Structure 1
Amino acid sequence: MSYWKNILFTFAAVMLPFAVLALAEGVLRVTGLESERQELFIPAGDDDTMVVINPAFAGRYFSGFTPDTAPQPFRKDKPEGTRRFFVLGGSSAAGFPYNFYYGFPAKLEEMLQKVHPGEHVEVINLAMTAVNSYTLRDFHRRLAEFDPDGILIYAGHNEYYGAYGAGVVPGWMRPRWVRRSVLSLQDLHLVSLVTRLFRDTGDTDAAWSPDAGDRGAGGTGDGFRRSDDGHDEPAARTLMARMAADRLVRHDEPRFREGIRHFENNISDILSTFQDGEVPVYLSTVVSNKAGQRPLGDDATADSLFAKAKTFNPEQEPDSVRKYFSAARDQDPLRFRAPEDVNQTIRELSRKDGVYLVDAHEISASGGLLPFAPSYFTDHLHLDYRGYALVAEAFGRTIREHGGFRFKKTAHNDSGPVTAQPDPLEEQIVDYTLGLLKSDFPFVRDPEEQKPQKWARQRLEELRASADPASQAALAYITGQVTLADAHARLAGTYRSADQHVSALRSLRALQYLQPLNPDLDRMILDYIAEIADMPDAGSGEEMPASEDEPTTVRATIWQESFPLLVRLKAQSFDERAWPLIVDNLIRSEQFETARYWLESWETLQPDALLYWYFAQWHIRQGQSGEAQPYFREYYRRVR
């Protein structure tokens, strides 16, 4: 009897801790504690049919900050006639140094919606700063229930310094199965709670929460803390500096190959999941600034290769230029830029069934291929708004070839990349973000010259002294006095009162992305566009500089800025007045093929008398007076 008692006692002693942990997990689940960190998507406001990415979800991956996410609500149950794409990736896919609505996913959505008026196209940006293939693998399975029509992946830069990256994990986490297990355990509420409490009681300098200056998803992690005297104090170091410090990964180290191998395995797992669900994946190579960014790490070989590349003539010896700039990037031991091995892995993975390659590395830009056109980059690897438009066009071209859209390719003949300039507030914030980023390591190698706090104070004083309304709005936003939406709302009103309609429209575009479920805002935007639709240049209080890439008249620029707003409002089935404004826009800008598809879609969905007036105008503007007459007759018959 005593023998069996000992057995039972030992068993109970062993199982008791597990029972206690299970009880604690059950209590946390019942009470809802930590539940906000467990769901990738949460209800959007009071409408439980709409969901949006959970901003707290990314907290499971980081200590010290939570990256911003794109607030793009969508219907949990996909409506008929909707094409839904999810975008996975890091800060480049998120749009850094801009807000998400200037990144390539937003431009791609506008581009596809423009030429597919009969369908509602959603390109939902799930990208976040500093995430890598481990993070993407962790949450990609949560997407299947939302019935995606395609998955877009632009990732590879963060394999060494991103969350759970090969260059930052401690030795015991080096094996891939350990990292995967740790991430899986985050699904337990108890583990999530303990992890959060541990992080919150850690190093206070690294654990403060970035605020307005973070550019959140931009990757600098530069916020403001309230000091004892009540003033806003810029952060001591940028996130990029804190992430890497002296964690060099040289080309001949085991960690280098480990990063490539784990990237291949993680992305392969993601592809297999969507292959099983018969969801196409559009997998892109990643670009970085090879010609305009010297090696970030202090390495003699990398510096020598970079210097040698600059001795060749790009027009006469392009192959040598590319060879040595690429070699310099690959030898750079500070691995914020993905080495060529990552792109080669991506190309090999794209051979799988149901996977389509978007080779961003082969995109042509003015001055050469995109990686060797430094004017298209804002820093070491993030593109400017023109570069993101080119990436959007590359994705759009591949999706149109393989995505099954029913419209003919001729509809795309006059649909180039959307390259509208950022709004005035965005330009100020981007200037601040990049200036702060480049005032610290690794852009400044000498520790004595790394003075981000000094740079930030000086720049804020310049904004404070400026009479420009965008500068004042940027100051208020960066220091946390107003939200970004409030700043844009005030600016839009200021510009509208001053008859600066182009700037007002750019601010309203940003505001509509930030408040996509605000019907009052949508009505106001549509009323405003209708009001200024026929306004001559003389009626505007702004002058447009001559440029090869931008319209030279206020009238043309107003149409350019109005169009994406109108398309978004029409895509949301908001107001039938959007139909004539869109078609008129396309006909005036002589985009006749796209205008024809909008007219045909209008005729199918909401035919009315005005439709036939614009059919007639479509023919008249192309010199087809005879073809226009039947449409004029039908218009007058209907209005009588």
Structure 2
Amino acid sequence: MPAKKQHNNNTHNNAAKTRPVFYVIAMILPFALLLTLEVVLRVSGFGHSYPLFIESNYKTEYLQPNPDVVKRFFHQPAYAPPVGPDTFLFKKQKDPNSIRIVLMGGSSAAGFPYGRFGSPAAMLNQQVKAQFPNSHIEIISVAMASINSYALLDFVDEVIAIEPDAVLMYAGHNEYLGIMGVGSVYASKGSHAANLMFLKLKEWRIFQLIQTVYQSFLGVAQSVDHSDSSRTVMASVAKEKSIEYGSALFQRGVQQFEQNLQGIQLAFMQAQVPLYLSTIASNEKDLTPFSSYNSPEVIDLLDETKVRSNRRIIQQGLRILDGGIHSADLAYAVAQAMLSEKDERAAAYFAMSRDYDLLRFRAPSAFNKIIQAAADTDVLTFLVDSEGEIRKDSDSRIIGAEHMLEHLHPTPRAYFLIGNAFFNGLVNNQAFNALMGKNHGATRSLPIDKAWVNMPLSEVDLMVGDYKILTLTSDYPFTDSKQAIAAPADTSALQKIAKRRIEGESWLNTQQALLTILQEQGDIRQAANAAGLLHDALPDEAQAARVASLLYLQIDELGLAEFYARRALYVQQPGTQINANYYLTLAEIVFKSGNLPDAIAILDALLRIEPDNQRALSIRQQIST
């Protein structure tokens, strides 16, 4: 009996020891099977992946934003709107002596309708080049139309991976009608938590397989028809066309923006990357509301505005608005009457009209309050008040057509002010201090009017932009039905180039043609700008930088002349014969800038390569005595 009992105890003990092993296997096996399936799907080529950055076709050592990145948010890529970020080339391996700045946001951050060279990134870059000519500062934009804070949150880890020294953000207008916006045809059907889960799972092939099975089984139809390429994205995206101020859907948009911004801020804070959050601006004074809730009493008052006095409109309008009627049209009428009467309350009622607009293509005032509050919560988050800068540049501090092309896309002047606000924010928070302490040349303090002269947009860019705005405003929501527009004029040489660009010819070809024409016409400033932008687009092209430096030197724009002269010297192809003229030009520019020691050092560098260079010897002797 004792022996049998001992045997039973051993059996029981062995079973007890074995049971945890089965539990572990039972827990691990499903994950192992899922992982195996994921690997099989990837190896077999099933599914898709759209990274934020891809290797450039220009040169293998360069990366650029992926023009197809928007497709990552759509199970069927054909459902995605035809939008993408502009091409910004930057080195895979970051130069340890460089400063890398990334701009994020929607179409206004991307520079619509002018593209990258009208964007805040380009406006900022012009100031940086002039102020820090002996430095390497990369400004990269991942901004693009139609995206909102969900996409920006999804991009954060990939932005951190390219080692930015600062991130700039101008965003908020697409929260309701952008991709995954609560009122858009691109909206998801889940909660905020479900949307965040989607962002985490969308790259998994198993998840994509489940989506494929689900959609094929239910026969889910395409949500947006992009077959008519003449329709604008704006004309396609509005689903919940009426989102009343303070409604549940309105509040969901506010909460979505606030929560996603907190996630973005936390990620950059943990990575120790400074974040510069900009307030956003839109047209208040010169754009009537797209859609408005108007009670019978409001309709009666609006019908009589042409015969009533301004003071009567204000009195009656305030009574109705104070009664809780959220009428955008009435608030706009009251604001116009106040403006005519020089009533300081006009600005508040123009803002109220925008906030009450049922068709939410413009961000409500609450978003700037969220941006301002976020900047107060973290030492690595800085507020950039772009809206405030535009207001200061506006009559009565009310933003209108002088600074907005239509509802929210800035004019060149407003884009410049946004870029200038970012520049001042970076300077004020010591973002460039490392450059100042590394003998990167004298810092030039440029007055705003002086900086504005070098705004990078050409007359051709402005023509193309005007045509794009005409196309945009010829369709919903600016008109009830799509209107035909005339073909662009092509009488002058510059109009012909603009038309070529509108019809799809590459920017590179048309920009080279523009440079030639501007030189023939003797427009030195614009020719310098055109040559400089060619180099900015193709950063290893020494000849474009050389031409830009010589042209800027002719008009005594010494900061930009020095920047491009240094770039021309820096990017000369390895193994090619050194061009002594590159050194001599740079020495002349630096000497004219008042930096004699650097001018002598540049000549000495040339003489070490060509000891018998008579021009260098003669110039050195002249400036040394």
| TM-score bracket for this pair, using the shorter chain length | 0.7 to 0.9
Q: 2: distance between equivalents of 1:497 and 1:634?
A: 31
Match of 2:538 among 497, 506, 515: 515
Match of 1:570 among 566, 571, 581: 566
Pair member with larger Rg: 2
Contact 1:101 1:513 in 2 (8 A): no
Partner secondary structure for residue 255 of structure 1: helix
Partner secondary structure for residue 476 of structure 1: helix
- Match status 1:340 vs 2:371: no
Shift of 1:290: 1.1
Structure 1 pair 204–412 and aligned structure 2 pair: CA distance change class (3 A):
same
- Match status 1:55 vs 2:87: no
Shift of 1:581: 5.6
Q: 2: distance between equivalents of 1:194 and 1:568?
A: 53
Match of 1:329 among 354, 357, 373: 354
Contact 1:610 1:635 in 2 (8 A): no
Q: TM-score when scaled to structure 1?
A: 0.73
Shift of 1:176: 0.4
**What is the one-letter code of the residue matched to 2:85?**
T
Structure 1 pair 324–587 and aligned structure 2 pair: CA distance change class (3 A):
farther
Map residues 173-572 of structure 1 onto 2, 5 A cutoff: 173-189=189-205, 191=207, 203=222, 206-208=225-227, 223=229, 235=230, 237-244=231-238, 247-300=241-294, 301-313=327-339, 316-317=342-343, 319-351=344-376, 352-363=378-389, 364-368=391-395, 372-406=399-433, 407=436, 411-416=443-448, 417-419=451-453, 420=455, 422-444=457-479, 447=480, 450-452=481-483, 454-455=484-485, 459-460=486-487, 462-463=488-489, 466-480=490-504, 482-517=505-540, 519=541, 522-524=542-544, 526-527=546-547, 530=550, 534=554, 556=555, 564=560, 567-568=563-564, 570-571=566-567
Shift of 1:23: 5.6
Structure 1 pair 39–424 and aligned structure 2 pair: CA distance change class (3 A):
same
Deviations 1:445-500 (A, max 9, x none): xx3xx233x21xxx21x53xx322333333333333x2222222233334434545
Partner secondary structure for residue 104 of structure 2: strand
Partner secondary structure for residue 80 of structure 1: coil
Shift of 1:102: 1.4
Q: 2: distance between equivalents of 1:66 and 1:478?
A: 16
Contact 1:81 1:118 in 2 (8 A): no
More deviation, 404-413/430-439: 404-413
Shift of 1:134: 0.5
Q: 2: distance between equivalents of 1:195 and 1:526?
A: 53
Q: 1: distance between equivalents of 2:432 and 2:549?
A: 30
- Match status 1:636 vs 2:621: yes
Shift of 1:92: 0.8
Aligned length: 535
**What is the one-letter code of the residue matched to 1:359?**
D
Structure 1 pair 264–587 and aligned structure 2 pair: CA distance change class (3 A):
farther
Shift of 1:435: 0.5
Q: TM-score when scaled to structure 2?
A: 0.75
More deviation, 578-587/53-62: 578-587
Structure 1 pair 299–134 and aligned structure 2 pair: CA distance change class (3 A):
same
Shift of 1:119: 2.6
Partner secondary structure for residue 338 of structure 2: coil
Contact 1:111 1:418 in 2 (8 A): no
Q: 2: distance between equivalents of 1:110 and 1:193?
A: 47
Percent identity between the aligned chains?
25
Tell me which residue corresponds to 1:42.
54
Partner secondary structure for residue 386 of structure 1: helix
Contact 1:563 1:582 in 2 (8 A): no
Structure 1 pair 34–529 and aligned structure 2 pair: CA distance change class (3 A):
farther
Structure 1 pair 148–64 and aligned structure 2 pair: CA distance change class (3 A):
closer
Contact 1:115 1:415 in 2 (8 A): no
**Unpaired segments of 5 or more residues in structure 1?**
1-14, 209-221, 224-234, 535-555, 589-594, 612-631
Partner secondary structure for residue 354 of structure 2: helix
Q: 2: distance between equivalents of 1:568 and 1:314?
A: 50
Tell me which residue corresponds to 1:77.
93
Deviations 1:175-203 (A, max 9, x none): 10111122222212465688799799965
Shift of 1:55: 1.3
Tell me which residue corresponds to 2:103.
87
**What is the one-letter code of the residue matched to 1:51?**
L
Structure 1 pair 313–88 and aligned structure 2 pair: CA distance change class (3 A):
same
Q: 2: distance between equivalents of 1:370 and 1:196?
A: 52
Partner secondary structure for residue 253 of structure 2: helix
Contact 1:361 1:370 in 2 (8 A): no
Contact 1:161 1:167 in 2 (8 A): yes
Match of 1:123 among 132, 139, 147: 139
Partner secondary structure for residue 345 of structure 2: helix
Q: 1: distance between equivalents of 2:475 and 2:285?
A: 21
Contact 2:102 2:166 in 1 (8 A): yes
Contact 2:562 2:589 in 1 (8 A): no
**What is the one-letter code of the residue matched to 1:287?**
A
RMSD: 3.9
Q: 2: distance between equivalents of 1:371 and 1:580?
A: 50
Q: 2: distance between equivalents of 1:565 and 1:191?
A: 53
Structure 1 pair 125–369 and aligned structure 2 pair: CA distance change class (3 A):
farther
Shift of 1:244: 1.4
Structure 1 pair 512–528 and aligned structure 2 pair: CA distance change class (3 A):
closer
Deviations 1:3-33 (A, max 9, x none): xxxxxxxxxxxx9999997666424533666
